[in-house]
Structure 1
Amino acid sequence: MPELRAGGRQWSIAPGSNLLDALNSAGLSVPYSCRAGSCHACLVRCVDGEPLDALPEALDAGKREQGWRLSCQCRVVDDLRVEIFDPLHDGLPASVSGCDWVSPSVLRLRLAPERPLRYRAGQHLVLWTPTGVARPYSLASLPGEDAFLEFHIDCRRPGAFVDVARTLKSGDQLRLGELSGGALHYDPDWQDRPLWLLASGTGLGPLWGLLREALRQDHNGPIRLIHLAQEDNEHYLKAALSDLASQHENLQVELITAQAFHSTLSSLRLTSRQTLALVCGSPASVEAYAKRLYIAGLPRSQLLADVFLERR
């Protein structure tokens, strides 16, 4: 049986075991979100041995040469020693500059990092609590415009990170971990194409940043944003989106609740085969959005999706 070494420990595991599961089952805190190789939250560095990597193309050559691997995509077939992220040693300190409730269940967290962080709209960032709880969250802020890093945290259910987030106040300290690509981005070459932004819940967060990025780059094509919430009072960016729509004639905003979701989906019609769709939210909503768009004729290569998996 292969021997796995990490965090000063060594233990035997079944051949072919998933590396992420093996590490977390042993009590080592390796964050993850998508488990599909897109969020890059589960990076570990292989220092001795090589796992079987199902998605080597997900990382650039430079990172792979340094030994970095996406643990969710790796299986342990031989003895392996890995290093996991140490927030106290490797993390970037950040202080809470703002923490407020923008709806009954959504907490808006704003952080001021100790030094500037270069990122692009739509990326993910791993947040670490002082007690070592780590979760990846999508950035809702816009680089170059916002003087803070902003995150929209779904607090409907209790959880290890959520329970800490509820108690945060200005001046409290967190650590920032790995910045990763994520599936969502805005490409300036899209400027004249119809752009659909489809979100559920706090999936609106990264699309809020990407919408402002598109408008900053003078997107000329029509932009349609749909936000699905369970209740009307959970449309937490209603006022801000209304202000943007009043300033940009090419922006259409639709705020719907669960009762209207299926009727809204059935009414979706493509006006152009050049349409691009960015979709973000719960697995069920992303699947429903994607299925309807494919039925409507959207090519699969023109849909980018980011799925938020729930973790307690």
Structure 2
Amino acid sequence: MPELYVGERHWSVSTGSNLLDALNQAGVAVPYSCRAGSCHACLVRCQGEVEDKQPEALSPAQRQDGWRLACQCQVSGDLRVEAFDPARDGLPAQVVGADWLNPSVLRLRLQPERGLRYRAGQHLVLWAGQVARPYSLASLPQEDPFLEFHLDCRHPGEFSDLARQLQVGDHLRLGELRGGALQYDPDWQSRPLWLLASGTGLGPLWGVLREALRQDHQGAIRVIHLAHDAEGHYLAEPLAALAAQHPNLTVELWTAAGSAQALAQLRLVSRQTLALLCGHPVSLEAFSKRLFLAGLPRNQLLADVFLPRG
């Protein structure tokens, strides 16, 4: 049986064992969120034999340095593992804003110790002590002097419970920055652009929208936000302000009760339309099906799914 080595410890595991499970079951606290190779919270450095089911999830440079996503790896031989240490490997950041946009959405603003180059819509892993979660950036690098995140705190959870207690001056650590599916391409400037979000999936699209407007997007922009109820439209006022300033921008606020009817009436004006979707998988599946039925080519839909922790 293969041997797993972590620091001074080592123990035997079955060949083919999932690396994340093998570590956590032995008391090595490796954080995770999606278990799908998307969030990158379970990043570990490996030396030895491991079968990686999703090698394309990391850059060649990261893989060369031995980094792997534990949730996507199976142990195939003796393996030495070094967990990501936020105190050593993370970038320090100070909380410069923590305010509630509605009773369940926390707007968290962070100032990193050094500048961070990123694009609107990218993801970043946030560490509070040894608890880590990936969140999408809602800020715009050219305009905002901070990193902004919109955290859904409706339900109890290790990170959201900690986040509720954050105050200005507190410190977190930043993990890996990764691409994500959502970004604005200047080549889209004359094409219709649809931004469809559910819940806090609006956060990264808020950044993408402002990037499109910053680059003077000429085509029509349609923003649709689906929320449980009217109170869930936590950016209603700033969206309305932008729509008042930009004649090519329209904003629609949908609630769960009326979403089926609204979806049924969704029509494409142009087959050149580009659609960016972000939020809960159930909502995104409904959006996607309707858009495909309406004639949107599949390669003109980009989606970033907020996978439930599991």
* TM-score (norm. length: structure 2): 0.94
Amino acid at match of 1:236: Y
> Contact conserved, 2:39 with 2:125, CA < 8 A, in 1?
no
Give 3-state SS (helix, strand or coil) of 1:272's partner.
Answer: coil
Aligned pair count reads: 310
Change (3 A) 1:182 1:35: farther
Deviations 1:55-112 (A, max 9, x none): 2223332222222223332222222222221011111111111111100110111111
Written as runs of structure 1 = structure 2, the 5 A alignment for 1:211-226 is: 211-226=209-224
What residue identity is the alignment partner of 1:110?
Answer: R
Distance 1:278 1:98, change over 3 A: same
Kindly provide the amino acid, as one letter, of the partner of residue 265 in structure 2: S
3-state SS of paired residue (2:174): strand
Q: Residue in 2 aligned with 1:24? A: 24
Q: Is the 8 A contact 2:34 2:308 kept in 1?
A: no
What residue number does 1:142 align with? 140
Verify the 8 A CA contact 2:40 2:134 in the aligned structure 1: no
Q: Is the 8 A contact 1:279 1:305 kept in 2?
A: yes
| Structure-2 separation of matches of 1:34 and 1:302 | 25
- Whether the aligned pair in 2 keeps the contact of 1:279 and 1:304 (CA below 8 Å) is yes
- For residue 187 of structure 1, the aligned residue among 185, 191, 203 is 185
Q: Does 1:302 align with 2:309?
A: no
- Map of 1:43 onto structure 2: 43
Deviates more, 1:69-78 or 1:284-293: 69-78
C-alpha distance in 1, partners of 2:184/2:27? 37
CA distance 1:37–1:186, change in 2 (3 Å) = farther
Note closer, same or farther for the CA distance 1:292–1:163 as it changes in structure 2 (3 Å cut).
Answer: same
Question: Normalising to structure 1: TM-score of the pair?
Answer: 0.93
2:267 aligned with 1:262: no
Tell me, what secondary structure is at the counterpart of 1:78? strand
Question: RMSD in angstroms over aligned alpha carbons?
Answer: 1.8
Alignment partner of 1:170: what SS?
coil
Q: Distance in 2 between matches of 1:174 and 1:156?
A: 21
Listed as ranges, the gaps of 5+ residues in structure 1 are: none
Question: What stretches of structure 2 of length at least 5 have no aligned partner?
Answer: none
Distance in 2 of aligned mates of 1:62 and 1:253: 41
Q: Which structure 1 residue ranges, 4+ long, deviate > 6 Å from structure 2?
A: none
